[in-house]
Homo-oligomer: A and B are copies of this chain.
Amino acid sequence: MIHRVLAADLPSHVGRTVRLAGWLHRRRELKSVSFLVVRDRSGLAQVVLREPVPYPEETVLEITGTVVANPQAPGGAELAAEVRPRPGGPGRAPDRAPGGGPERSRTPAAGPAIEVLSEAVQAPPFDLYRPAVPAALPTVLDHAPAALRHPRLRAPFEIAAAGVAGFRAALDGLGFTETHTPKIVGTATESGANVFGLDYFGRPAFLAQSPQFYKQALVGVFERVYEVGPVFRAEPHDTARHLAQYTSLDAELGFVRDHRDVMAVLREALAGMHASAAGGAGAALSLLGIALPEVPEEIPAIHFADAQELISRHTGEDPRGEPDLAPAHERWLGAWALREHGSEFLFVTGYPMIKRPFYTHPDPERPEFSRSFDLLFRGLELVTGGQRLHRYADYLAALAARGEDPEAYTGYLAAFACGMPPHGGFAIGLERWTARLTGAANIRQATLFPRDLHRLSP
């Protein structure tokens, strides 16, 4: 059987007979010649042949022909195919299209030049071959299996896949162990709200909102762990940034001095994601016209209190006393970091304890502030993390201070009772990272099959 060659590899096979396989991305029929664009996982290839091709777009084809140099074709080469070669006889050299390259070649007749592997019986919801996506988001989402075939709609997921690979590679290199933890849990402890309930063999259970408790417990086992997996939020808000399921890139590490060691690891993870995207999803980045932002060797950091000072000094507003940053102030800080530090990333550290979960480690010198951080990317929060409490007694005190019953946390607290090092971690929302990087206005553009308040299929 003649070797299959991917579209992107055609240029290195000029003069040879090869087999191309993929989807009929587009066809144009001229009087005596057909131009096809065939799409496969590597990209697009042009095919010319001298007879009409009576199949609709998205039909799956195998085409045998000769690779011919053509400066006008993608990558500088195209496939010259024949239809119905004479049985037993030599193949006929295909006519060249006007403007085609100089080379001609005689192909041995090895069988029919075009084989239909499966004919499309339904048109996609919009023309997949148009460079821009000619459809609104709901149409794309309703018809995701077909719509995602559009190269621009597929591209973010190639970037996401490369990013995750870079996340893992960076953490593997730092001695982390990958883990897989339960997504069905018995208590909705981290936050009672926004949790999906479940019938678990007749008992109530919940979908995990994060692997927080498990990754902390596993610091006691592996010291450094990460998990890439789904988390679930029963978000009752229908916004451009909420999903009922998203992919969380979670990491947690022991034996830290404080949150700064966690920030240093996050910097490495992010740099790994960006390097991997640049290397593994270069075509997708080019297609979307994205220049990857540089992750500085040291990401600038500002304390929450200093950030509020700065904002009150330079804007007409005075946010001091507020326990959190307003979105407009995050944007202001993002612009400030770019101006002052040349960085699209900025750490804001030391958020007030009152806004952080009970396991957050306070700043011993200013106990109203925490050893936590947010990482802003272009003025928007991308990652949250920090140092956690690690002493059993501190957990009991923190729960008591919030009026919570430690009984509900027995399984969680067991890890701390048995000795846990100072530790901390962070969680990156994969879809959020991808959306921010690709400039997607809606996080659903960075989610293959989003789940939200209204959407449960496809």
- Once A196-B200, A419-B60 are accepted as A-B contacts, the answer to whether A448 and B122 lie under 8 Å apart by CB is no
Residue of B with least CB distance to A412: B458
Say yes or no: is A301 at the interface (Cβ < 8 Å to chain B). no
* B244–A458 touching, CB < 8 Å: no
Q: How far is the CA of A205 from the CA of B419 in the complex (A)?
A: 41
Closest CB-CB distance, A382 to chain B, in whole Å?
18
Closest CB-CB distance, A417 to chain B, in whole Å?
4
Residue from B145, B154, B183 in contact with A245 in the complex, judged by beta carbons closer than 8 Å: B183
- Once A221-B149, A458-B411 are accepted as A-B contacts, the answer to whether A157 and B184 lie under 8 Å apart by CB is no
Q: How far is the CA of A183 from the CA of B457 in the complex (A)?
A: 11
Say yes or no: is A332 at the interface (Cβ < 8 Å to chain B). no
Say yes or no: is A146 at the interface (Cβ < 8 Å to chain B). yes
9-residue interface stretch from A174-182, A308-316, A317-325: A174-182
Q: How far is the CA of A273 from the CA of B244 in the complex (A)?
A: 33
* B421–A60 touching, CB < 8 Å: yes
Say yes or no: is A390 at the interface (Cβ < 8 Å to chain B). yes
* A456–B229 touching, CB < 8 Å: no
* A420–B223 touching, CB < 8 Å: no
* A183–B149 touching, CB < 8 Å: no
Closest CB-CB distance, A9 to chain B, in whole Å?
11
Closest CB-CB distance, A122 to chain B, in whole Å?
4
Q: How many copies does the complex hold?
A: 2
Q: How far is the CA of A241 from the CA of B194 in the complex (A)?
A: 33
* A182–B419 touching, CB < 8 Å: no
- The residue in A172, A180, A229 that gathers the most chain B C-beta atoms within 10 A of its C-beta is A180
Say yes or no: is A432 at the interface (Cβ < 8 Å to chain B). no
- Once A21-B421, A23-B419 are accepted as A-B contacts, the answer to whether A458 and B217 lie under 8 Å apart by CB is yes
Q: How far is the CA of A175 from the CA of B145 in the complex (A)?
A: 20
Say yes or no: is A198 at the interface (Cβ < 8 Å to chain B). yes
* A198–B198 touching, CB < 8 Å: yes
Binary B-proximity of A239-256 (CB < 8 A = 1, otherwise 0): 000001101000000010
Say yes or no: is A136 at the interface (Cβ < 8 Å to chain B). no
Residue from B145, B154, B168, B458 in contact with A418 in the complex, judged by beta carbons closer than 8 Å: B145
Q: How far is the CA of A154 from the CA of B218 in the complex (A)?
A: 10
Q: Is the interface of A mostly helix, strand, loop or mixed?
A: mixed
Residue of B with least CB distance to A257: B1
Residue from B121, B145, B221 in contact with A221 in the complex, judged by beta carbons closer than 8 Å: B145
* B229–A118 touching, CB < 8 Å: no
- Once A199-B197, A449-B181 are accepted as A-B contacts, the answer to whether A217 and B145 lie under 8 Å apart by CB is yes
Residue of B with least CB distance to A216: B145
Q: Which residues of B contact A458 (CB under 8 A)?
A: 217, 411-412, 414
Q: How far is the CA of A336 from the CA of B392 in the complex (A)?
A: 56
Within 8 A of B (CB), among A58-105: 58-60
* A182–B245 touching, CB < 8 Å: yes
User: What are 10 contact pairs spanning A and B, CB under 8 A?
Assistant: A41-B175, A41-B223, A120-B419, A121-B392, A124-B418, A149-B220, A157-B179, A181-B448, A184-B232, A187-B457
Given A121-B393, A145-B418, A148-B218, 17 additional A-B pairs, CB 8 A: A41-B175, A41-B223, A60-B419, A122-B418, A123-B418, A145-B414, A148-B221, A157-B222, A160-B180, A180-B230, A180-B430, A182-B449, A183-B183, A183-B232, A184-B244, A196-B199, A198-B199
